[in-house]
Amino acid sequence: MIATGNELFTVDRWTVREVELTPEKTDAIWQMLKKYKTLFSDLTRDDPQNFVKIITDKDTMWFEVIEYDVIVGIIWFGEMWKITDCEAHMVFFDRQPSEKVGVCKEMVKWMFANFPLHRITVAPPAIYHATIRLLEKIGLKREGCKRQSVLIGGKWNDQLIYGILRNEI
């Protein structure tokens, strides 16, 4: 899929662009994301309408990570209505999140520079080992655990709570 949108910054060979959500783009993102069996909980995995609600929510911002005009990842921030805290999510289709430490650090800096956020929160399922390593390399701190809070593949999994504060950048 070819990238579209407004370029925010470039780190090494990756460019981050804001996603322009057309119906075609929304469908293309859904087609990419639904391939990952552990990405959604069992309660939402096969529900494209739920995904459309999430992606088109007015308090959500979506960004593409581009490598040579090909989308290799999506980063999104939800619950922007909270103003001082938002929830971040990231998916890298090339399965190389450890390469994107610089991109993710810049994305966090960009969010703090452009919004009056006090903190950014990420709550990955405990089975997302590569994502957890990435969060720690970016500088997020583990703050806690929501026990058995997400159902994936018929098994209840813990969600770990990670956060980064503006003054930690």
Under the banding of pLDDT at 50, 70 and 90, the label for residue 137 is very high
- Render pLDDT for 110-133 as a digit per residue (tens, 0 to 9): 999 999 999 999 999 999 999 999
Q: When comparing pLDDT for 163 and 81, which is higher? A: 163
**141-159: average pLDDT:** 95
Does residue 23 lie in a domain region? yes
Return the residue matching tokens 């470039």: 10
In the chain, how many domains are there?
A: 1
Lowest mean pLDDT, pick from 27-31, 110-114, 132-136: 27-31
Does residue 160 lie in a domain region? yes
Does residue 1 lie in a domain region? no
- Looking at residue 54, what is its pLDDT? 74
Whether the pLDDT of residue 4 is over 70: the answer is no
Return the residue matching tokens 């293309």: 28
Give the SS3 label for residue 81.
helix
Does residue 108 lie in a domain region? yes
Structure tokens at 123: 């709550």
Does residue 48 lie in a domain region? yes
- Looking at residue 5, what is its pLDDT? 54
Does residue 141 lie in a domain region? yes
Domain coverage including residue 131: 6-168
CATH of the domain at 59: 3.40.630.30
Tell me the C-alpha distance between 63 and 18, whole Å: 4
